[in-house]
Amino acid sequence: MFTPQPIGFVHSLFKDAAAIPKGLGAKHPEAGVLEILPAFVAGLTDIEGYSHLIVLWAFDRSEGFDLIVTPPSDDRPHGLFTTRSPRRPNPIALTVVELLRREGALLHVRGVDMLDGTPILDIKPYLSNIPEEKLRRGWLAEAEARQS
Amino acid sequence: MFTPQPIGFVHSLFKDAAAIPKGLGAKHPEAGVLEILPAFVAGLTDIEGYSHLIVLWAFDRSEGFDLIVTPPSDDRPHGLFTTRSPRRPNPIALTVVELLRREGALLHVRGVDMLDGTPILDIKPYLSNIPEEKLRRGWLAEAEARQS
């Protein structure tokens, strides 16, 4: 396997996990900045053409994992791999952000749900959607239906 | 940081990278199996309710990285982080697959673009799309337009 290394860090308003909106209908309209380390900035070439980016980052303040979790969006337990819980065998997180603008090594983005100082592992272009009519969202859809 | 560990392995028809469709309009209709290791199977509870899964996996047969790459889908060079190149600072790949059925530790899926034996790092539920009218796909859209 490989040894994870940060390609940059997140600048965010969130200083602790309790401040990040969670649960059903949680929105993440917050803007933030992805600061890419000088050694990797050339890899951002042409990124301005993309509206949305997939950011992989490390849950660097999480330890251990649980295979069954009760997520903030439901009062029932579910399998870890159907949730976004930070406590995972490989503590890798994924956030899709909207790219607002680039300023050299800085990507100004919207949709930040990371803590300030979070290490970024990778950035990939967001290229395509799953057709809505084919998408089933399991227990989350059920939890939403119970609430409405 | 963390030490990556496989939570399972991919069973796929692809024995070498040259066999995997690449480039503009490449489709990945192939079915395959994600075999989750016994220690992690409980984390699959309730996964049958989801039609699509995000699979994070390791480019375990890739070494080193290039910050500027000419991808199979274009004849022009682009920044690494606008591409899906396997040669990345953190060789983590992402594939969205359709879940066909679960059989214990085996997830039968469609949309496989991994080599046989690829280590799986994480599985997450696919929950939402980006509105099509907001999605811009940079150089890839330009390359498609030039070809058509």
pLDDT tens for each residue of B37-84: 999 999 999 999 999 999 999 999 999 999 999 999 899 999 999 999
- Distance, CA of B80 to CA of B77 (rounded, Å): 9
**Contact list, A72 vs chain B (CB under 8 Å):** none
Above 90 in pLDDT, residue A100?
Answer: yes
Q: Where does the pLDDT of residue A130 fall: very low under 50, low under 70, confident under 90, or very high at 90 and above?
A: confident
| DSSP state string for A10-63 | EE-S--SGGGS--STT-----EEEEEE-GGGGGGGTTGGGBSEEEEEEE-TT--
Interface contact A124-B94, CB threshold 8 A: yes
Interface contact B129-A125, CB threshold 8 A: no
CA-closest candidate to residue B105, choices B4, B33, B5, B6:
B33
Half-sphere exposure of B11 (CA within 13 A, CB side): 11
Above 80 in pLDDT, residue A148?
Answer: no
Mean per-residue pLDDT, A9-32: 90
CA-closest candidate to residue A9, choices A106, A111, A101, A90:
A106
Pairing mode, if any, of strands B31-36 and B106-110? antiparallel
Mean per-residue pLDDT, A103-125: 97
- Helix ranges (H only) for chain B are 138-147
Residue B37 burial by Cβ neighbours in a 10 Å radius (0-12, 13-18, 19+)? middle
Q: How much is the pLDDT for B24?
A: 83
- Nearest-CB residue to A89 (from B7, B77, B83): B7
Mean per-residue pLDDT, A49-61: 96
Interface contact B122-A88, CB threshold 8 A: yes
| Any B CB within 8 A of A47 CB | yes
- Distance, CA of A90 to CA of B4 (rounded, Å): 6
User: Residues B91, B58: contact at Cβ < 8 Å?
Assistant: yes
Give pairs for A60-67: CB < 8 Å, separation 24+: A60/A91, A60/A118, A60/A119, A60/B1, A61/A17, A61/A86, A61/A115, A62/A86, A62/A87, A62/A88, A62/A91, A63/A87, A65/A89, A65/A91, A67/B40, A67/B42, A67/B43, A67/B45
- Nearest-CB residue to B92 (from A3, A88, A121): A121
- Nearest-CB residue to A5 (from B47, B89, B130): B89
Interface contact B94-A54, CB threshold 8 A: yes
| Any A CB within 8 A of B88 CB | yes
Interface contact A134-B45, CB threshold 8 A: no
**Contact list, B105 vs chain A (CB under 8 Å):** none
- Distance, CA of B32 to CA of B111 (rounded, Å): 8
Take residue B95 and report the two structure tokens written for it.
């594939």
Interface contact B43-A139, CB threshold 8 A: no
Burial B89-101 (b: 16+ CB within 10 A, else e): bbbbbbbbbbbee
Nearest CA to CA, how far is B127 from chain A (Å)? 6
> pTM of the entire structure?
0.95
- Distance, CA of B131 to CA of A51 (rounded, Å): 11
Mean pLDDT computed over every residue of chain A = 94
Sign of CA dihedral A106, A95, B67, A60: positive
Nearest CA to CA, how far is A37 from chain B (Å)? 12
| Any A CB within 8 A of B136 CB | yes
Query: Rounded to whole angstroms, what are the CA distances from A9 to A131, B32, B145?
Result: 33, 35, 35
Q: Where does the pLDDT of residue B86 fall: very low under 50, low under 70, confident under 90, or very high at 90 and above?
A: very high
Sequence-distant (6+) residues with CB within 8 A of B69 are B77, B78, B80, B83, B85, B87
Give pairs for B143-147: CB < 8 Å, separation 24+: B143/B24, B143/B73, B143/B74, B143/B76, B144/B24, B144/B25, B147/B24
